[in-house]
Chain A
Amino acid sequence: GWRAEGRLQSPAQVHSLSLRLLYLYFHGKDNFWFFSFMQGSKLEVPLWLAKGLHDSKRRIISVELPKIYKEAWRTVFSADANVVDLHKMGPYYYGFGSQLLNFDNPENPEIAQTILQTFISRFRRIMDSSQNAYNEDTSALVARLDELERALFRAGQKGLNDFQCWEKGQASQITASSLVQNYGKRKFTDVDC
């Protein structure tokens, strides 16, 4: 299916404009179905498709912003970005927001500014918590983070764990490759060294 692969961004809303008919072929199993869309109809499409069909003259589609990037939510972010559950609000807030800037929306400068300020407000807490949570359950700390923030958190944790390992004198210990540890469950019957 055409929505299946990889990480799915939250869909952009799309209007089809200035066309009498837009034929879209949807691939389903072994058949191709086609739908025709009248001018002005609204659909949800994946981001990559919206990007591909978009051009500055808006001959095919115009893109509507998902609500989290609109003015109402932007105000919430500027009030206190730390309270927002960015995982629930589509887990790729920063990445997807950056991609949204491709659609020549007049609100782009405000959107960009909000995304940046949000990151700046939240970053400190992420850095501090990732550096102080050693050997504990961190699920509460990461629950409301988007994927970019979670990656940062993991990097912070890795640094912390490596440092602790060094402090304990374990930094010189040779360890098995992660491949071996993962495949340990299956039979690793041949050792052909």
Chain B
Amino acid sequence: MTYIHTSRLYFRLLFLILCFQQCSSAAALSVQCKIINVDYVECIWQRNLSTMNYTFSSMFANDGLDRGCPKYILEQNYTGCRIPLKDQNLRFNKFIVTIYTEGKHTISKTFDSLERNVLLNPPYNLSVMWNEHSDTLSLYWNSSAPLRKTCIVYMVRNQKDPSQSLNVTDTSYSVSPVSQNKLYVFQVRSTVADSCGSSDFWSDWSDPVEWSGTGNSSRPGWLYAILSVVLLSMLGFLLWYCERKKILSLPVVPDPSINLQDLFHKHDGNVESWIHISKELKEAFQPDYTEPSCDVCEVLPSCDTISKPEACPESKASSDPEACPQTEICSQPETCSQLKACPEPEACPEPEACPEPEACPEPEACPEAEICPAPQTDSSDKENTEEPQSS
């Protein structure tokens, strides 16, 4: 009796262990199946690192065909299989999945139906049109789902105001009245309608389409970017070739010769002809009277300066010929109204011998000046009227 009880115990324990293994393997491999766009079934499961090879098999109830996997999905985190859906009504049928792993382990899962696991592709070709007369904004789109129009429900939303989302059954939607100062950004998504076996999944949102309050259909952002680049290029081009703008931004040294081309080329440097002085104005500058010149005689140095050799007079006849005393040239003595009689010099005593003056640099030769006709004097004066000694 004890032996029988023990063997029964062993069998029960073995049965529990086997059940636990099956349960744990099923729990470790969770299979999810969805019908994508009523076109194909996609089943995915998490890859078990200890197992690399899987063999997938599936079938719909009353379909009669045990389909293998025509196309496996191999991703980094998961593995899957895509099975074409040959009949849309099969989604109402029971779906049985079997996965064979290495080591002859088998995982099986049964779906009562995939009716509620339908995921449609998002709508596409969204466009918006504004009717100015009725102040109505109309949104249009297309759907790629191979279902009757009444079998698809769409949800339309304005990204800028999510509370405005609502469901429609047609592939168009109208908004009226339209605010001119608002920006509208529309998106649409779809699901299977209740009358055709509703799904628990909405599709992804479609690409957004914008409309601003200017009344025109919105332009994509890339158009604004291109226009900006073109505008900047044009400004750069104008800046490069437009001299006036260039001068303002990069000032250059003024060249007045630009405005004096006529003077140089046409009038050959003749300013009078260039500036077009009238004949009357020219004659107005001609002198109509003459003024007698005043002759100025050179003032002779006094004897004091000569007797004091230490105070040797500085030679004005330096290298600069202009320093030479200029004497008025009396070119026309008869016109002189008055000849100033030069003062008679005093009779000077014999000067002491002057010390030898320091050698001074030889001045340049002064231009010869005409000497005023010396008044007639006695011989003693002649000595005094001699040219002063240059030092």
The answer to whether A binds B is no
